[in-house]
Structure 1
Amino acid sequence: MSAAVRVFLVLLLAYFLSYFFRATNAVISPDLRRDLGLTSAELGLMTSLFYLTFALVQLPLGGLLDRFGPRFVHPTLMLLGAVGALVFASAQSFAALSLGRALLGVGFAAALMGALKAFSLWFPSSRYASVSGLYVALGASGAIAASSPLAWLKEQIGWRGVFEWGALVIVLVALTVALGVQNTPKGTPLPQSKPQEGAGVIWKSGVFWRIGALNFVLGGGFLAWQTLWGGDFLYKARGMGGLEVGALLFAFSLAAVLGYLLSGALADRLGLSRVLLAASLGFALGPLLLALWPQMPLPLLYLVYLLMGFTGAFNILSLAQARLSFPTALTGRAVTAINFLGFIGVFLLQWGLGVALAWGYSTALLLWSGLLFLALLGYLPLVRERPL
């Protein structure tokens, strides 16, 4: 096994856990409502805290990864995630649940960004989109594990048991990352940015804001739906049971894995910005259809969930586009800045949809659809000017 492949596989273990823990609340939300009496607004806010803390850590994380590399930065954060899992497992109040969820977000903040920084040094730039897409596709199987398998597991050991055992697994994987990952190939130093090449170059870029706005509503909305509201919609608007919900979320996540697998190859072949635009248009049809026809027949509902899962996964291309739009020395800061906007989007959309549910799911979904189409209009000039 080559050193590059070993780095890829070890980091993949951590990303699998990141996806699993971010997605658990979609399946255990009825248990949390029952055991702790949470309202929709509280459930949305508590779940979204994973993404708020995740996003806030992105701001210093990019500089830390550019300076020190992912080998120790990533597992140090993961240990905080293990503490968060234990706090969540023992929580008896909304506040304790929120603290545990927030710490989990901190713990996995480098799971993707650390890997993307490593890949920029271990793999050639021509393979960056494909390697990144493969990484996210395989890691997204954590969301599959958090669908039907989690629905079965929580019936065996309870949702608290899932998080107690999960904390131990997080610690073991953190140690594996620290011992099994090298920042760069042997003899290759970490590239350092010049004084004038700071984060300001990124945040002042119009290209950055067009990519970031799309990632805010596409990547943010995709995860908000996959990890909470996609399940809650089925429970509340469709009156489904846990195993039925798990099956639809399984289909969504399986389609997402396929999307991640194909996104890089299609981008390399057809042009990154064109593929991202087309996928975003396809994804935007999902919430629009659910808003206008919430009681559609079950086969069509499966098709909509498959469509949203497959096309939503193409949000990973926004990170690859950021990587290709800025110098290598700024890779960490460029991708974490785009990721910051995406996860702020998850936080605000997950919380905001919970608030908007006071007017029903149709209204909330129509608002989200409107934001998606506005972001697509803003992104369109990149397809015309920069067909990466």
Structure 2
Amino acid sequence: MSSLQIHDIGRRRAWSIWSVALAVYVLAVLHRSSLGVAGLLAAERFHINATSLAAFTVLQLVVYAAMQVPVGVMLDRFGSRAMLLAGLAMMTVGQLVFAFTTSFGGAVLARAVLGAGDAMVFVSVIRLVTVWFLVRQAPLVTQLTGLVGQMGAILAAAPLAFLLDRLGWTGAFGLVSSLGVVLLIAVALLVKDSPYRRDEVVQVKLRALAQSVRTLWGNPGTRLGMWSHFTSQFAATVFTLLWGYPFLVQGLGWSEAAASTLLMAMTGWAVLSGLVLARLVGRLPYWRSWIVIGIVAAMVVPWTAVLLWPGPAPAWIVVVMAFTTATGGPAAMVGFDLARTFTPVQAIGRANGLVNVGGFTAALLTMALIGVVLDLVEPGGMDAYTLDDYRLALSVQYLFWGFGVVQILRYRRRGLAHLERVHPGATEQMRAGQPFVHPGIGTEGV
């Protein structure tokens, strides 16, 4: 970082910049989640089956995940403002095309462009949090970023369903795409990359890119963050973005209004649980990985009850299952906090990009597998799926939960050994409830 600080850290300007960037993230989540309530309409509009419907979201997330490393490199080099502007432009174009196209191929291309723009947003906001807020503020602001950002999922539930009903497909998605133009102006006018006169950019040449990524990937803290993100996030993403709504309506026999309400309630619960989790993580930095594992265990128990219940599970068990699943969103934010412990700020964009690959890779693989299993057990299409079909298909989640927990435990052990070797005293500091600040961050924000 440059030594000349010209703005206060963690004060009014920081909150203003974060608020504008957060609005962009809310819009990104709205775009990303828009098929959650439009999935059945999309199946009718494009005449597709479950595998093809899953292809929309899977491709979007494939593009999102594949771009995380190059986006991280560009973020460290060009800064958050430029990446937010580029991401907004791509999301606006992608959603506009999605509004007007009537072909499956055109819709797939539109979702790919949307995923590319979406890939630039979250890590850009997290980098702003890293440079504009005090180290002691960062865990709370990181949680708030993820949680308030999920307001986009609420907007993609009942409000978008209302717009689809009143305006139709083209009118609803066209209106949503226009929001990007407003935010483009706000970001251009209000967002500043750094509180320093000249933020130090990282000029990563192509020949050095592979080595840069290998170095970060070789750090067990980066992988611990990634596997924490992988294990805790995917179930909530799968449920809210694609398969939760059909499962509730077709599988469990819920009304469309009740299903939309539950999806919105999940977001509200995620906000509340995330605020509690932020304080817990801030006070117990040494136990962050175990907190993630505990939340995953809390998801698995009610999911097992819902899937094994003879007949449709009672509503209260489904609600418990949905709320514990929603808690996975805040738990995934812990992955970025873990990576920050092991990474200097000059490389935080690349590290966050690698972490962010985790949950979305798990989500896209799970979504795809659920679609494949549904089509294998019932070739008749979306209208023919039964509760037993959904039970079998949704069981693929256990593969990812189990594998992820094993990897978290593995890299927690390696990460602690790394800190003891490279930064003696760091683990004792975290055991005492004090966050460890990587020396590369400096002391300005402490």
**TM-score under structure 2 normalisation?**
0.82
Q: Assess, with a 3 A threshold, how the Cα gap between structure 1 residues 132 and 193 changes in structure 2: closer, same or farther.
A: farther
Please state how far the C-alpha of 1:246 moved relative to its aligned partner.
Answer: 0.3
Among residues 274, 285, 288, which one is paired with 1:260 in the alignment? 274
Pairing 1:95–2:111 present: no
Within the candidate set 310, 313, 338, 2:355 is matched to: 338
Which residue number corresponds to residue 369 of structure 1? 398
Equivalent in the alignment of 1:283: 299
Q: Quote the offset at 1:139 in angstroms.
A: 1.2
Aligned partner of 2:232: which letter? L
Q: Which moved more, 1:209-218 or 1:275-284?
A: 209-218
Give the CA deviation at 1:41: 0.6
Alpha-carbon spacing, 1:136–1:106, altered in 2? closer, same or farther (3 Å): same
Query: Does the 8 A contact of 1:282 with 1:311 survive in 2?
Result: no
Contact 2:87 2:118 in 1 (8 A): yes
Q: In structure 2, what is the equivalent of residue 79 of structure 1?
A: 89
Q: Aligned letter for 1:364?
A: A
- How big is the shift at 1:383? 5.1
325-334 or 376-385: bigger deviation:
376-385
> Which position in structure 2 is the counterpart of 1:248?
262
For 2:195, what is the secondary structure of its paired residue? coil
The number of residues matched between the two structures is 388
Paired residues of 1:218 and 1:315 also in contact (CA < 8 A): yes
Name the larger-Rg structure: 2
Q: 2:219 aligns with which of 205, 220, 241?
A: 205
Q: Which amino acid aligns with 2:405?
A: L
Shift of residue 188, structure 1, vs aligned partner: 5.0
Distance apart, 1:376 and its partner CA: 0.8
CA distance, structure 2, for counterparts of residue 191 and residue 289 of structure 1: 51
TM superposition score normalised by structure 1: 0.93
Alpha-carbon separation, structure 2, partners of 1:321 and 1:135: 16
Alignment-mate amino acid for residue 52 of structure 2: E
Q: Does 1:29 align with 2:39?
A: yes
Root-mean-square deviation (Å): 2.2
Query: How is 1:149-298 mapped onto 2 (pairs within 5 angstroms)?
Result: 149-187=159-197, 189-190=199-200, 192=202, 198-271=212-285, 272-293=288-309, 295-298=312-315
Indicate the larger mover: 327-336 or 286-295.
286-295
After TM superposition, give the deviation of residue 25 of structure 1 in Å: 0.9
C-alpha separation between the residues in 1 aligned to 2:307 and 2:125? 37
1:323 is aligned to: 340
Gapped runs of 5+ residues in structure 2?
A: 1-10, 378-388, 417-426, 431-446
Are residue 299 (structure 1) and residue 316 (structure 2) matched? yes
Identity across matched positions, percent: 26
Cα offsets for 1:140-191 (capped at 9, x unmatched): 1111111122222221112321210112111221221122100001425236
Q: Which runs of 5 or more structure 1 residues have no equivalent in the other structure?
A: none
* Distance apart, 1:84 and its partner CA: 0.6
Amino acid corresponding to residue 236 of structure 2 in structure 1: F
Distance 1:304 1:149 in 2: 24
How far apart in 2 are the matches of 1:159 and 1:260?
33
Opposite residue 296 of structure 1, the aligned amino acid is A
- Decide whether the 8 Å contact of 1:260 with 1:316 is kept in 2: no
Runs of 4+ aligned residues of structure 1 deviating over 6 Å after TM superposition are 193-197
Relative to structure 2, which stretch is displaced further, 310-319 or 2-11? 310-319
The aligned amino acid for 2:248 is L
Moved more, 28-37 or 209-218: 209-218
Shift of 1:261: 2.6
